[in-house]
Structure 1
Amino acid sequence: MRGVLLRVGYVLALPAVLVALWWLASDGSTNVYWPPLRTILRTFPDVWTGQRLHDDLLRSVLRLLAGYATAAVAGVALGTVIGSYRRVRAVCEPVLEFLRAVPPPVLVPVIMLFAGIGDTMKIVVIASGGVWPILLNTVEGVRAVDPVMAETARSYGITGAARLRTLVLRSASPQIFAGLRQALSIGIILMVISEMFAASNGLGFAIVQFQRGFAIPDMWTGILLLGLLGFALSVVFQVVERRVLGWYHGLRATTRRS
């Protein structure tokens, strides 16, 4: 119990300090663009009612999860194939490096031409940006599979799906999760950008509408909610990562002790 409380304290310590500094720095501010934090917090429950949370926050989260899941499936699948076969990697690598260098926000107008301005466009934008860190980390993770373990698996007749599940993906899983973590941050950014381009709901849409209506405290509440969403998703990701990669973290801890 004490260890859990210490971890929670470590997680909340820096955010608490930053909030306190924000409160002190903005206290007494008369700048219309930089309202006091107490004003923002007082405005928050009036702006983010149950209906608005359903129409904007929930819609944004669903789009993010759909795009993120699409990027994860495509990135792991393609990365496993490319990392497993040298010739496929040699053919695909120049094209992948070119596509990876194209900033996903630049593709939003192009994607709008083919996918329209509905939820499909926003999901595609999120997936198109999040797929690259997952794919490239998966490729490197698959390439780094221990050749001794690979030869042992071959000797024992472990092939096909069993080899993929128990050896390749398991060995590459630490790097896959590194890519998934990067993709989550990229996905949140692209979620907001896609909703600012063409949308009738979502966090990005709401923040832009507040800004255009000169409702500055309301706009800050949207930014604050976006930060809280990113923090919550990061905590959930860490819990899942710890559970899935428990064997890996245990191995690292044993290695450090020895």
Structure 2
Amino acid sequence: MSVLRRVAWYWLLPVAVAAWELVTRAAQATYFPPPSQIVARLRELWFSGPPSRAFLTDEAVADLVPSLSRLFTGWSIACAAGVLLGVVLGRSSWLSGLVEPLVHFGRSVPPAALLPVFLVLFKVGTPMQLASIVYGVVWPVLINSMDGARHVDRQYIETGAVYRLSRWQRLTRIILPAAAPKIFAGLRLSVSLALIMMVISELVGSSEGIGHRMLEAQSQFDIPAMWAGIVLLGLLGIGLNAAFLGVERAVLGWHTSARTGDA
């Protein structure tokens, strides 16, 4: 399967882009510019600066830096809170029974539906955007952490009790390593959700960022710039996912090796 994926990436993607170029040029559709125009506008907007600044333009500094800082800050807060609360709820049956219905209710509410509430509470600006990202990201991390901590093999816990490990030692040496695969599954889902919530929050209440730039391009009928923002978000998503997969392989190498050995 890995060979087929490489073939698909190296051959099917360029063929699809070439077909997109030919079809859009032939159709001359206003709202669907060819990829060459999109790439040219993408470079003009964000990557035609001086080499001393890594080719970043003033617009790139004004758009990318605030967007990425909000994304990573909101994601970090949500992940820390989700893992902490998830492990506590997963290891406490009575607390889980008390809080879990509220957790499932909260995750069922679409984050975008709460944007008006966040606007009222935090006004337009970074606090509102951070609140939107945190609320949208925390649920998969919380639920996966709770599930992972809850289903730790009882033999591991009993072994820790036999060796008289303290609660902190049992948490750091038994519970967290055993729950790590589930926790990382939630963290991986949260990366894409953080990117989505970053864009949505910037479309609603922001004067800077990638989402605001796309909204501005739409209002000015700058269709190539709008598509350039979409392509940039896609590239960011691919880059963030690849970086997270690298971290996951480094941290959970023992888990991957164990699964390979079992197979």
Q: What is the TM-score when the length of structure 1 is the normalising length?
A: 0.92
Aligned partners of 1:100, 1:10: CA distance in 2, in Å? 39
Q: Which residue is equivalent to 2:75?
A: 68
Q: CA deviation at 1:102?
A: 0.5
Q: CA deviation at 1:10?
A: 6.4
Determine whether 1:203 maps to 2:210: yes
Q: Which residue is equivalent to 1:163?
A: 170
Provide the identity percentage: 38
Q: Which residue is equivalent to 1:246?
A: 253
Residues 148-189 of structure 1: CA distance to partner in whole angstroms, max 9, x if unpaired? 111001110112211111111110000001101111111111
Would you say the 8 A contact 2:24–2:34 is kept in 1? Answer: yes
Greater than 2 Å deviation, 4+ residue runs: 5-29
Residues 93-148 of structure 1: CA distance to partner in whole angstroms, max 9, x if unpaired? 11111111111111111112122211111111101110000000001000110001
Of 232, 235, 247, which residue of structure 1 is paired with 2:239? 232
Q: Which residue is equivalent to 1:26?
A: 24
SS class of match (1:31): coil
Q: Which residue is equivalent to 2:36?
A: 38
Amino acid at match of 1:190: M
Q: CA deviation at 1:20?
A: 3.6
**Could you say what the CA RMSD is over the residues aligned between the two structures, in angstroms?**
1.9
Number of paired residues? 252
Tell me: CA distance 1:238–1:21, structure 2 relative to 1, closer, same or farther (3 Å): farther
Determine whether 1:53 maps to 2:51: no
Aligned partners of 2:161, 2:8: CA distance in 1, in Å? 44
Tell me: CA distance 1:7–1:69, structure 2 relative to 1, closer, same or farther (3 Å): farther
Determine whether 1:176 maps to 2:176: no
User: What does 1:177-196 correspond to in 2, within 5 Å?
Assistant: 177-196=184-203
Q: CA deviation at 1:22?
A: 2.6
Amino acid at match of 2:64: L
Gaps of 5+ in 1: none
Would you say the 8 A contact 2:45–2:60 is kept in 1? Answer: no
Gaps of 5+ in 2: 48-56
Amino acid at match of 1:32: T
Amino acid at match of 1:67: G
Aligned partners of 1:245, 1:171: CA distance in 2, in Å? 11
Would you say the 8 A contact 1:29–1:36 is kept in 2? Answer: no
Q: Which residue is equivalent to 2:88?
A: 81
Q: What is the TM-score when the length of structure 2 is the normalising length?
A: 0.91
Aligned partners of 2:211, 2:105: CA distance in 1, in Å? 29
